[in-house]
Amino acid sequence: MPAIQHRHDQINGIRLHWVEAGAGPAVLLCHGWPETWYSWRHQIAALAAAGYRVLAPDMRGYGESGAPDAVADYTIFHLVGDVVGLLDRLEIAEAVVVGHDWGAPVAWHAALLRPDRFRAVAAMSVAHTGRPATAPLEGFRRAGREGFYWLYFETPGIAEAELERDVARTLRCVYHAASGDVPADWHWRAVVPPGGGLLDTTLEPAAAPAWLPAADFERYAAAFRKSGFRGGLNWYRNIDRNWALMGAFAGARIRQPALFIAGARDPTLRIGRRDPLAGMAAAVPGLRASVLVPGAGHWVQQEAAERVNRELLAFLAGL
Protein backbone atom coordinates (compact mmCIF):
# COMPACT_ATOMS: atom_id res chain seq x y z
CA MET A 1 0.00 0.00 0.00
CA PRO A 2 1.34 3.51 -0.82
CA ALA A 3 1.97 5.99 1.95
CA ILE A 4 -1.33 7.07 3.44
CA GLN A 5 -2.28 9.82 5.85
CA HIS A 6 -4.76 9.30 8.67
CA ARG A 7 -6.77 12.42 9.36
CA HIS A 8 -9.56 13.47 11.74
CA ASP A 9 -11.80 16.52 11.90
CA GLN A 10 -15.25 17.68 12.98
CA ILE A 11 -17.41 17.33 9.89
CA ASN A 12 -21.20 17.54 9.68
CA GLY A 13 -21.48 17.47 13.46
CA ILE A 14 -19.33 14.40 14.14
CA ARG A 15 -15.67 13.48 14.39
CA LEU A 16 -14.81 11.93 11.04
CA HIS A 17 -11.73 9.79 10.41
CA TRP A 18 -10.45 9.26 6.89
CA VAL A 19 -7.32 8.18 5.07
CA GLU A 20 -5.79 9.89 2.06
CA ALA A 21 -3.29 8.73 -0.55
CA GLY A 22 -2.03 10.04 -3.86
CA ALA A 23 -2.56 13.28 -5.76
CA GLY A 24 -4.77 14.25 -8.68
CA PRO A 25 -8.52 14.11 -9.36
CA ALA A 26 -10.41 13.09 -6.24
CA VAL A 27 -12.00 9.67 -5.78
CA LEU A 28 -14.02 9.15 -2.60
CA LEU A 29 -14.57 5.56 -1.37
CA CYS A 30 -17.56 4.67 0.86
CA HIS A 31 -17.47 1.29 2.64
CA GLY A 32 -20.39 -0.84 3.81
CA TRP A 33 -21.44 -3.15 6.65
CA PRO A 34 -19.64 -4.62 8.54
CA GLU A 35 -16.40 -3.04 7.35
CA THR A 36 -14.22 0.05 7.68
CA TRP A 37 -12.10 2.17 5.35
CA TYR A 38 -9.71 -0.81 5.25
CA SER A 39 -12.01 -2.70 2.87
CA TRP A 40 -10.64 -0.41 0.13
CA ARG A 41 -6.96 -1.16 0.81
CA HIS A 42 -6.43 -2.73 -2.65
CA GLN A 43 -8.20 0.09 -4.46
CA ILE A 44 -6.42 2.82 -2.52
CA ALA A 45 -3.08 1.45 -3.70
CA ALA A 46 -4.13 1.07 -7.34
CA LEU A 47 -5.91 4.42 -7.63
CA ALA A 48 -3.15 6.40 -5.94
CA ALA A 49 -0.54 4.77 -8.18
CA ALA A 50 -2.62 5.72 -11.23
CA GLY A 51 -2.63 9.42 -10.35
CA TYR A 52 -5.75 9.96 -8.24
CA ARG A 53 -6.23 11.56 -4.85
CA VAL A 54 -8.02 8.86 -2.85
CA LEU A 55 -10.17 9.58 0.20
CA ALA A 56 -11.53 6.67 2.25
CA PRO A 57 -13.45 7.57 5.41
CA ASP A 58 -14.60 5.41 8.24
CA MET A 59 -18.28 6.08 7.65
CA ARG A 60 -20.52 7.46 10.41
CA GLY A 61 -20.83 4.86 13.19
CA TYR A 62 -17.73 2.89 12.20
CA GLY A 63 -14.09 2.61 13.16
CA GLU A 64 -12.55 5.83 14.43
CA SER A 65 -15.41 8.05 13.25
CA GLY A 66 -18.13 9.33 15.55
CA ALA A 67 -21.17 7.21 16.37
CA PRO A 68 -24.11 9.35 17.55
CA ASP A 69 -26.55 7.67 19.93
CA ALA A 70 -29.77 8.64 18.17
CA VAL A 71 -31.04 6.32 15.45
CA ALA A 72 -32.37 9.35 13.56
CA ASP A 73 -28.80 10.66 13.16
CA TYR A 74 -28.08 8.01 10.50
CA THR A 75 -30.43 9.04 7.68
CA ILE A 76 -29.33 9.13 4.06
CA PHE A 77 -29.13 12.92 4.35
CA HIS A 78 -26.65 12.60 7.23
CA LEU A 79 -24.59 10.05 5.31
CA VAL A 80 -24.45 12.09 2.11
CA GLY A 81 -23.85 15.18 4.23
CA ASP A 82 -20.76 13.56 5.71
CA VAL A 83 -19.10 12.98 2.33
CA VAL A 84 -20.08 16.43 1.04
CA GLY A 85 -18.70 17.87 4.26
CA LEU A 86 -15.44 16.02 3.73
CA LEU A 87 -15.07 17.56 0.27
CA ASP A 88 -15.83 20.98 1.75
CA ARG A 89 -13.26 20.50 4.50
CA LEU A 90 -10.60 19.65 1.91
CA GLU A 91 -11.76 22.37 -0.50
CA ILE A 92 -12.38 19.82 -3.25
CA ALA A 93 -14.91 21.10 -5.77
CA GLU A 94 -15.91 17.71 -7.20
CA ALA A 95 -15.07 14.03 -6.96
CA VAL A 96 -15.98 10.63 -8.28
CA VAL A 97 -17.83 8.74 -5.56
CA VAL A 98 -17.50 4.96 -5.20
CA GLY A 99 -19.49 2.83 -2.77
CA HIS A 100 -19.86 -0.80 -1.76
CA ASP A 101 -22.72 -2.50 0.12
CA TRP A 102 -24.34 0.25 2.26
CA GLY A 103 -21.77 2.62 0.81
CA ALA A 104 -23.38 2.04 -2.60
CA PRO A 105 -26.69 3.74 -1.64
CA VAL A 106 -24.61 6.57 -0.19
CA ALA A 107 -22.75 6.88 -3.50
CA TRP A 108 -25.94 6.65 -5.59
CA HIS A 109 -27.71 9.25 -3.46
CA ALA A 110 -24.68 11.54 -3.38
CA ALA A 111 -24.76 11.52 -7.18
CA LEU A 112 -28.53 12.03 -7.23
CA LEU A 113 -28.69 14.82 -4.65
CA ARG A 114 -25.45 16.68 -5.46
CA PRO A 115 -24.60 16.32 -9.16
CA ASP A 116 -22.63 19.55 -8.81
CA ARG A 117 -20.16 17.82 -6.46
CA PHE A 118 -20.06 14.25 -7.80
CA ARG A 119 -19.18 14.05 -11.47
CA ALA A 120 -19.47 10.27 -11.71
CA VAL A 121 -20.47 7.32 -9.55
CA ALA A 122 -19.33 3.70 -9.26
CA ALA A 123 -21.25 1.31 -7.03
CA MET A 124 -20.63 -2.28 -6.01
CA SER A 125 -23.06 -4.99 -4.91
CA VAL A 126 -26.15 -2.79 -4.41
CA ALA A 127 -27.91 -1.58 -7.55
CA HIS A 128 -29.98 1.60 -7.78
CA THR A 129 -33.51 1.12 -9.07
CA GLY A 130 -35.19 4.26 -7.76
CA ARG A 131 -37.65 4.81 -4.92
CA PRO A 132 -40.16 1.94 -4.55
CA ALA A 133 -43.89 2.59 -4.26
CA THR A 134 -44.00 1.17 -0.72
CA ALA A 135 -41.69 1.69 2.24
CA PRO A 136 -39.29 -1.29 2.13
CA LEU A 137 -39.75 -2.64 5.65
CA GLU A 138 -43.49 -2.18 5.45
CA GLY A 139 -43.41 -4.08 2.18
CA PHE A 140 -41.63 -7.03 3.81
CA ARG A 141 -44.17 -7.09 6.64
CA ARG A 142 -47.11 -7.03 4.25
CA ALA A 143 -45.55 -9.88 2.31
CA GLY A 144 -45.25 -11.97 5.49
CA ARG A 145 -41.45 -11.85 5.44
CA GLU A 146 -41.07 -11.05 9.13
CA GLY A 147 -37.89 -13.07 9.34
CA PHE A 148 -35.99 -10.91 6.87
CA TYR A 149 -32.80 -9.74 8.53
CA TRP A 150 -33.53 -6.01 8.05
CA LEU A 151 -36.53 -6.49 10.35
CA TYR A 152 -34.45 -8.48 12.85
CA PHE A 153 -32.09 -5.49 13.03
CA GLU A 154 -34.91 -3.03 13.79
CA THR A 155 -35.13 -3.29 17.59
CA PRO A 156 -32.06 -1.68 19.20
CA GLY A 157 -30.07 -4.00 21.42
CA ILE A 158 -31.13 -7.40 20.06
CA ALA A 159 -28.75 -7.73 17.13
CA GLU A 160 -26.00 -5.91 19.04
CA ALA A 161 -26.13 -8.51 21.83
CA GLU A 162 -25.84 -11.37 19.35
CA LEU A 163 -23.14 -9.90 17.13
CA GLU A 164 -20.94 -8.54 19.92
CA ARG A 165 -20.93 -11.79 21.91
CA ASP A 166 -18.01 -13.07 19.82
CA VAL A 167 -16.93 -10.44 17.31
CA ALA A 168 -14.42 -12.66 15.52
CA ARG A 169 -17.00 -15.44 15.01
CA THR A 170 -19.60 -12.92 13.83
CA LEU A 171 -17.29 -11.50 11.19
CA ARG A 172 -16.06 -14.92 10.07
CA CYS A 173 -19.63 -16.14 9.56
CA VAL A 174 -20.95 -13.00 7.89
CA TYR A 175 -18.00 -12.60 5.55
CA HIS A 176 -18.12 -16.26 4.59
CA ALA A 177 -21.90 -16.49 4.07
CA ALA A 178 -21.99 -13.63 1.57
CA SER A 179 -18.78 -14.56 -0.24
CA GLY A 180 -18.11 -16.65 -3.30
CA ASP A 181 -16.52 -19.30 -1.06
CA VAL A 182 -19.78 -20.99 -0.03
CA PRO A 183 -20.76 -24.37 -1.56
CA ALA A 184 -22.15 -24.22 -5.08
CA ASP A 185 -25.57 -25.49 -3.96
CA TRP A 186 -26.01 -22.94 -1.13
CA HIS A 187 -26.59 -19.22 -0.96
CA TRP A 188 -27.37 -16.89 1.91
CA ARG A 189 -31.14 -16.31 2.16
CA ALA A 190 -31.07 -13.75 4.96
CA VAL A 191 -34.15 -15.11 6.77
CA VAL A 192 -33.74 -15.27 10.56
CA PRO A 193 -35.56 -18.29 12.08
CA PRO A 194 -38.10 -17.68 14.86
CA GLY A 195 -36.24 -17.18 18.12
CA GLY A 196 -32.90 -17.21 16.31
CA GLY A 197 -30.38 -14.65 15.18
CA LEU A 198 -28.47 -13.51 12.12
CA LEU A 199 -25.70 -16.04 12.60
CA ASP A 200 -28.26 -18.85 12.33
CA THR A 201 -28.61 -17.87 8.66
CA THR A 202 -24.89 -18.34 7.96
CA LEU A 203 -22.42 -21.18 7.60
CA GLU A 204 -19.39 -21.56 9.86
CA PRO A 205 -16.36 -21.45 7.52
CA ALA A 206 -13.94 -24.35 7.59
CA ALA A 207 -10.98 -22.04 7.01
CA ALA A 208 -10.10 -18.40 6.54
CA PRO A 209 -10.65 -17.18 2.95
CA ALA A 210 -7.66 -16.62 0.71
CA TRP A 211 -8.85 -13.06 0.04
CA LEU A 212 -8.78 -12.11 3.73
CA PRO A 213 -5.45 -13.00 5.38
CA ALA A 214 -5.33 -13.29 9.16
CA ALA A 215 -3.70 -9.88 9.66
CA ASP A 216 -6.37 -8.16 7.56
CA PHE A 217 -9.18 -10.00 9.34
CA GLU A 218 -7.79 -8.93 12.69
CA ARG A 219 -7.93 -5.28 11.58
CA TYR A 220 -11.69 -5.64 11.24
CA ALA A 221 -12.11 -7.66 14.43
CA ALA A 222 -10.17 -5.12 16.47
CA ALA A 223 -12.20 -2.25 15.02
CA PHE A 224 -15.55 -3.85 15.88
CA ARG A 225 -14.44 -4.97 19.34
CA LYS A 226 -13.78 -1.29 19.99
CA SER A 227 -16.79 0.29 18.25
CA GLY A 228 -19.42 -2.43 18.56
CA PHE A 229 -22.09 -2.84 15.88
CA ARG A 230 -24.72 -0.30 16.91
CA GLY A 231 -23.57 2.49 14.61
CA GLY A 232 -23.75 0.34 11.50
CA LEU A 233 -27.06 -1.24 12.55
CA ASN A 234 -28.56 2.23 12.89
CA TRP A 235 -28.18 2.64 9.13
CA TYR A 236 -30.66 -0.23 8.70
CA ARG A 237 -33.00 1.33 11.26
CA ASN A 238 -33.47 4.31 8.94
CA ILE A 239 -34.53 2.38 5.83
CA ASP A 240 -38.20 3.37 5.98
CA ARG A 241 -37.33 6.86 7.26
CA ASN A 242 -35.06 7.30 4.22
CA TRP A 243 -37.90 6.19 1.96
CA ALA A 244 -40.10 8.93 3.43
CA LEU A 245 -37.39 11.59 3.28
CA MET A 246 -36.72 10.86 -0.39
CA GLY A 247 -40.35 11.38 -1.40
CA ALA A 248 -39.55 14.66 -3.15
CA PHE A 249 -37.02 12.83 -5.34
CA ALA A 250 -39.29 10.02 -6.52
CA GLY A 251 -38.66 9.48 -10.21
CA ALA A 252 -35.41 11.48 -10.23
CA ARG A 253 -32.64 9.99 -12.38
CA ILE A 254 -28.88 9.66 -11.94
CA ARG A 255 -27.49 11.07 -15.17
CA GLN A 256 -23.76 11.23 -14.45
CA PRO A 257 -21.51 8.51 -15.89
CA ALA A 258 -22.02 5.41 -13.74
CA LEU A 259 -20.49 1.97 -13.27
CA PHE A 260 -21.92 -1.03 -11.43
CA ILE A 261 -19.82 -4.02 -10.29
CA ALA A 262 -20.92 -7.10 -8.38
CA GLY A 263 -19.75 -10.62 -7.78
CA ALA A 264 -21.71 -13.12 -9.85
CA ARG A 265 -22.21 -15.12 -6.63
CA ASP A 266 -23.31 -12.14 -4.55
CA PRO A 267 -26.41 -13.28 -2.63
CA THR A 268 -27.76 -9.74 -2.38
CA LEU A 269 -28.57 -9.95 -6.09
CA ARG A 270 -31.01 -12.75 -5.26
CA ILE A 271 -32.53 -11.65 -1.96
CA GLY A 272 -35.42 -9.65 -3.40
CA ARG A 273 -38.28 -10.85 -5.55
CA ARG A 274 -37.16 -8.78 -8.54
CA ASP A 275 -33.95 -8.64 -10.54
CA PRO A 276 -32.15 -5.58 -9.13
CA LEU A 277 -30.18 -5.10 -12.34
CA ALA A 278 -33.30 -4.83 -14.50
CA GLY A 279 -34.39 -1.48 -13.07
CA MET A 280 -31.07 0.30 -13.33
CA ALA A 281 -31.34 1.34 -16.98
CA ALA A 282 -34.32 3.60 -16.24
CA ALA A 283 -33.10 4.88 -12.87
CA VAL A 284 -29.49 5.42 -13.99
CA PRO A 285 -29.50 6.54 -17.64
CA GLY A 286 -25.81 7.39 -17.30
CA LEU A 287 -24.91 3.74 -16.63
CA ARG A 288 -21.96 2.82 -18.86
CA ALA A 289 -21.39 -0.76 -17.74
CA SER A 290 -22.73 -3.40 -15.40
CA VAL A 291 -20.03 -5.94 -14.57
CA LEU A 292 -20.58 -9.32 -12.88
CA VAL A 293 -17.31 -10.87 -11.73
CA PRO A 294 -17.31 -14.69 -12.04
CA GLY A 295 -16.75 -16.59 -8.81
CA ALA A 296 -16.83 -13.54 -6.55
CA GLY A 297 -19.43 -12.89 -3.88
CA HIS A 298 -20.53 -9.81 -1.98
CA TRP A 299 -17.08 -8.57 -0.93
CA VAL A 300 -16.09 -8.12 -4.55
CA GLN A 301 -13.43 -5.42 -4.15
CA GLN A 302 -11.55 -7.75 -1.80
CA GLU A 303 -12.38 -11.12 -3.37
CA ALA A 304 -11.48 -9.98 -6.89
CA ALA A 305 -9.33 -6.92 -6.26
CA GLU A 306 -7.38 -6.99 -9.53
CA ARG A 307 -10.51 -7.24 -11.69
CA VAL A 308 -12.28 -4.50 -9.75
CA ASN A 309 -9.23 -2.26 -10.02
CA ARG A 310 -9.08 -2.75 -13.79
CA GLU A 311 -12.76 -1.90 -14.18
CA LEU A 312 -12.52 1.17 -11.95
CA LEU A 313 -9.42 2.50 -13.68
CA ALA A 314 -10.92 1.98 -17.13
CA PHE A 315 -14.09 3.79 -16.06
CA LEU A 316 -12.17 6.70 -14.56
CA ALA A 317 -9.95 6.98 -17.64
CA GLY A 318 -13.04 7.29 -19.82
CA LEU A 319 -14.57 10.22 -17.96
Question: Is 273's pLDDT higher than 60?
Answer: no
Residue 259 exposed, middle or buried by CB count within 10 Å (0-12, 13-18, 19+): buried
Q: Among 16, 40, 8, which residue's Cα sits nearest to residue 27?
A: 40
pLDDT value at position 1? 60
pLDDT value at position 208? 84
C-alpha to C-alpha distance for 118 and 20, rounded to whole angstroms: 18
pLDDT value at position 277? 83
pLDDT value at position 207? 83
pLDDT tens by residue, 164-187: 999 999 999 999 999 999 999 998
* Cβ atoms of residues 280 and 129 within 8 Å: yes
Please name the helix (run of DSSP H) or strand (run of DSSP E) that holds residue 164, with its range, or none. Answer: helix 158-164
Please name the helix (run of DSSP H) or strand (run of DSSP E) that holds residue 293, with its range, or none. Answer: strand 287-293
6 catalytic residue (yes or no): no
- Percentage of the chain surpassing pLDDT 70? 98
Q: Which residue out of 58, 82, 101, 181 is catalytically annotated?
A: 101
pLDDT tens by residue, 218-246: 999 999 999 999 999 999 999 999 999 99
- Has this prediction a pTM greater than 0.85? yes
Domains and CATH numbers, the chain: 5-317 (3.40.50.1820)
298 catalytic residue (yes or no): yes
pLDDT value at position 162? 98
Question: Is 81's pLDDT higher than 90?
Answer: yes
pLDDT tens by residue, 280-295: 989 999 999 999 999 9
Question: Is 272's pLDDT higher than 80?
Answer: no
* Cβ atoms of residues 57 and 82 within 8 Å: yes
How many Cα atoms within 13 Å fall on the side-chain side of residue 277? 16
